[in-house]
Structure 1
């Protein structure tokens, strides 16, 4: 998160009656606390990454790119798009993120095996929510 974005959030927060803002996303955790018309506390920390990203031998987490309802299968099909233990190809659909009537594919960033699907079918998810864990193929 860039410094200018944090300054803008501080200005917006100071102009409201919101006392505290906690924002988390991939790679960042921002905590702002307002007292009166000024922001008193500001902490911006990188989110720790326990596993080296991009390494084919380490698990990789595919996260939600938006708010929506996570679907394991297309509404017109009975089989899931990807199940635990199955091999997937790069760009293959792992699931769908439903935003109203719109269905957006959640795709595999590389060739891999599905290790885990943490969210159940039909779960309401937020931006950055882990949806699928991939391992080496």
Structure 2
């Protein structure tokens, strides 16, 4: 595509009162406005990042694992998106019910511990895939 093509576009724009025109193909990106044509620079496409490896979300303390709060009833279905700090389970120690929060944004894919099981500090509770951001 030579300059003749761009000049023809500018002429058509002027004759028909078109203020702006944009064209993009595999090789170039052209923007025309007010009778001036400019070729936009192409930023190199970033490769798609590889999927994150599976991590385990571990118990922050000792207790009897519960996937849902006693007042909530059933736990949420998996897989599910979670935000940093979102409570993904509870650990009951005597009268205390302590939260097990998500360490970052990501996806809980599989629960590794059943409800009612005694877990210690660092026991894997869920398979977790950290967000790419």
- For normalisation by structure 1, the TM-score amounts to 0.55
- Alpha-carbon displacement from aligned partner over 1:101-129 (angstroms, at most 9, x marks no partner): 11111011111111111000111111211
The DSSP-based 3-state class of the residue aligned with 1:134 is: strand
Matched, 1:115 2:94: no
Q: In the aligned structure 1, how far is the partner of 2:122 from the partner of 2:130? A: 22
RMSD: 1.9
Distance 1:68 1:136 in 2: 25
- State which structure, 1 or 2, has the greater radius of gyration over its C-alpha atoms: 2
Determine which of 59, 71, 92 is the counterpart of 1:64.
59
- Where in structure 1 are there 5+ consecutive unaligned residues? 1-55
How far apart, in 2, do the equivalents of 1:111 and 1:79 lie? Answer: 22
**1:73 corresponds to:** 68
Q: What is aligned with 1:124?
A: 118
Aligned equivalents of 1:126, 1:83: Cα separation in 2: 24
1:6-17 aligned at under 5 Å gives the runs: none
2:27 corresponds in structure 1 to none
User: Which structure 2 residues correspond to residues 9-28 of structure 1 after superposition, within 5 A?
Assistant: none
- For structure 2, the 5+ residue unaligned runs are 1-50
Shift of 1:99: 0.7
Normalised TM-score (structure 2):
0.56
Contact kept, 8 Å, 1:83 with 1:114, in 2: the verdict is: no
Shift of 1:58: 1.7
